[in-house]
Chain A
């Protein structure tokens, strides 16, 4: 009888340097499905338990930065054509796991099947969109500068290095992909803190990354408490930039304090959306502009004399 089969339960782990370790802290925390149909609160029941997920620590974050730093020169040194194909390959692998992503996004975000399908489609399409930018953004953002003198003078974009990403809290997959893809497309490597309450699609994304051609260490994924781990990434001296998008909607976390800590080594900071001190999560559905990609770029200008 098929119904009597005991299912194999999964242990959810971190993704660091291409491997799937448990948290060095030995901790895990419980993750629940989002309540369905939250508008009709009268009919709401306790959300079902989904899994125990590794609760990453400061040390895990540091290990992830080491892995990201180690991977960065090689990833940046890959050709743009190659990086584009690797990103596209991620979309291919995700497409193969489509049903799993839909189920997980649905559970994580409490979406209807149709909306979960749409979110996963958009997330896969977003990889494809960024994959296509890999060999174009340097053309769009570069310049041959007409200086007043006999010099060959060009400006070109380069990755800034290791980027910490606070992934959006609500949009567990589309938001995650929208934050990670623009960081790595140019040759940065990333240390990603997932949505605290909705981390499972991120772990499955880690599995997709591990089985695509993304080199280990290019994307490192830490699950856990955002407010606990984010300050260590913000103040880390070997992190070049930080995306604070996921600071929106986290209790006990001030994005202003994270930005202030980031000043210690002049990190490039992408602030969360919103006005004033308010932080809100952006709508990730529309096709983005280049702000996210550009925030994690440096412009290098090279001069050389012209003559015979």
Chain B
């Protein structure tokens, strides 16, 4: 069969107007950090320094929280829901109008393929603002309880895997319900959040309603621990989530935690195998596997295990790894050197513990942070690669014989964020969905998201939900 080579199809960076340095966004203005500290954000694909970003000190956190409090008291809590909604509609529209700019910047700063930032991240971010805009004047009908009221100032800390999308998941519901926010983006991916700050200015959002402070762990801790923050919303690792839960223990701060996962993607022998293989690939190699709900454990019924593995390997051999800005790229760069080291280490542990490692032939760029799509077969329950979240393009394959065994294996982790089921049998899907301890179950599909659809985990994958009517619950107090 002839193979057709793809010509490079890089997206232009001309649409971007990237500054060499950025301040913090506090009270509607970009301001330098009081401590004067800064750090660099790089393109993980090339290690090129993209910009210098301010590191918020405790005093900056103080200023941001104070700005959010003032905006809450004087402006945002007094505004009608309808008017709050109009601001959110404006933001949604600006995100759509500037979608290409955001997509290019997201791929540049994060390393994810432009195909994903253009077709998934940015459109979904806009959709979140559009969806929540409509709730702002309808909260009495949301079934949350009598007279839903905002908490006040919300401190939000988000990860680097979906920088703008996570921002929109956090900011849109908080603003719709009448809260004001201080948000800290991840230190490796601050740029789209800072571009979003410009969108807030462009939308004439009242100063202080949204504040964005860049920095690393210490900045996040200062924000979460701040005495005048009423609610904390965090997405990130389970370890940090537990630390946050301990920090706010004994206070009256509320929290929503979206933490790690180790999802089972379960394939039965009657599954449409080609679709299942696409689902497996999408489940673990979407966004380089930097997805908390990634289908990182493939549980395949023994009778079709060999066939599935063969088809999977054939399909993986067609994945194109490389330049995130190339529109043909399927798998981009690992977000940071630290993350690459973690993935490398856990993959080595997988080999050392006796699982068989396989990767398709692919040339990785010499510069930047790269990891070839990797599949481990012969994995057992006790292997670390079957228990720990790797957060990279690494799939562990296990087998099962009966639905009961599939359920037992799927549930055998401290996590409970997501799961996948592939079978033609409807009654089995419904039975499996009941049995699986997971907040999201994808049947004959995987990694689908929507603003109207609640997302969040069981067990150590965190508490609270984001999205849908359920997501609003975390941002209001009701009744007596």
Contacts and interface: CB of A to CB of B under 8 A. Distances in A.
Interface of A: 140-141, 143, 145-149, 151, 153, 155, 160, 240, 254-257, 259-260, 262-266, 268, 271, 275-277, 286, 289-291, 294, 298-305
A241 to B, nearest CB: 9
Interface string B453-472: 11110111111010011100
Given A240-B459, A300-B433, A301-B455, A263 B468 contact: no
Contacts of B461: 266
Given A147-B450, A289-B145, A256 B249 contact: yes
A5 B465 CA distance: 62
15 contacts: A145-B452, A148-B450, A148-B452, A151-B445, A256-B251, A259-B245, A259-B250, A266-B242, A266-B463, A271-B252, A286-B480, A299-B454, A299-B465, A300-B438, A304-B443
A150 to B, nearest CB: 10
Contacts of B444: 304-305
A266 B468 CA distance: 23
Given A263-B242, A263-B249, A265-B414, A303 B459 contact: no
Given A140-B143, A256-B250, A301 B441 contact: yes
Contacts of A268: 463
Nearest to B453: A145
Nearest to B146: A289
A147 B452 CA distance: 6
Contact of A153 (B250, B453, B478): B453
B448 interface: yes
Nearest to B238: A266
A145 B454 contact: yes
Contact of A155 (B246, B445, B454, B480): B454
B131 to A, nearest CB: 9
Contacts of B473: 294
Nearest to A274: B252
Given A291-B479, A303-B448, A155 B245 contact: no
Contacts of B39: none
Nearest to B415: A266
The 6 closest A-B pairs by CB, nearest first: A256-B250, A263-B245, A259-B249, A147-B450, A260-B249, A304-B443
Contact of A266 (B439, B452, B454, B462): B462
Contacts of B242: 263-264, 266
Interface residues of B, number: 48
Tell me if A's interface is mostly helix, strand, loop or mixed. Answer: mixed
B30 interface: no
A153 to B, nearest CB: 5
Contacts of A146: 452
B429 interface: yes
A267 to B, nearest CB: 9
B450 A302 contact: no
Contacts of B479: 289, 291
B56 interface: no
B241 interface: yes
B354 to A, nearest CB: 28
Contacts, number: 124
A149 B448 contact: yes
Given A264-B242, A266-B245, A289-B146, A148 B127 contact: yes
B250 A277 contact: yes
A66 to B, nearest CB: 18
A259 B469 CA distance: 27
B440 interface: yes
Given A302-B433, A303-B453, A266 B257 contact: yes
Interface of B: 127, 143, 145-146, 238, 241-243, 245-246, 249-252, 257, 259, 414, 429, 433, 438-445, 448, 450, 452-456, 458-463, 465, 468-470, 473, 478-480
Nearest to B243: A263
Contacts of B245: 259-260, 262-263, 266
Contact of B469 (A143, A260, A302, A304): A143
Nearest to A155: B454
Contacts of A145: 450, 452-454, 468
Contacts of B441: 300-303
B252 A275 contact: yes
B121 to A, nearest CB: 15
B468 A155 contact: yes
A304 B429 contact: yes
A160 B414 CA distance: 13
A12 to B, nearest CB: 33
Contacts of B460: 265-266
Contacts of A290: 145
A31 to B, nearest CB: 30
A39 to B, nearest CB: 27
A296 B477 CA distance: 17
Give the interface centre of A153, A275, A300 by most chain B CB atoms within 10 Å.
A300
Contacts of B456: 299
Contacts of B478: 289, 291
B9 to A, nearest CB: 26
B426 to A, nearest CB: 9
Nearest to A265: B460
Contacts of B452: 145-148, 153
A18 B348 CA distance: 49
B123 to A, nearest CB: 9
Contacts of B241: 266
Given A143-B469, A147-B452, 6 more contacts: A155-B453, A262-B249, A263-B243, A277-B250, A289-B479, A302-B433
A147 B450 CA distance: 6
A81 B480 CA distance: 30
A126 to B, nearest CB: 16
A276 B252 contact: yes
A143 to B, nearest CB: 6
A305 B454 contact: no
A263 B439 CA distance: 19
B439 A304 contact: no
A259 B459 CA distance: 16
A303 B454 contact: no
Contacts of B442: 302-303
Given A265-B414, A289-B145, A290-B145, A303 B440 contact: yes
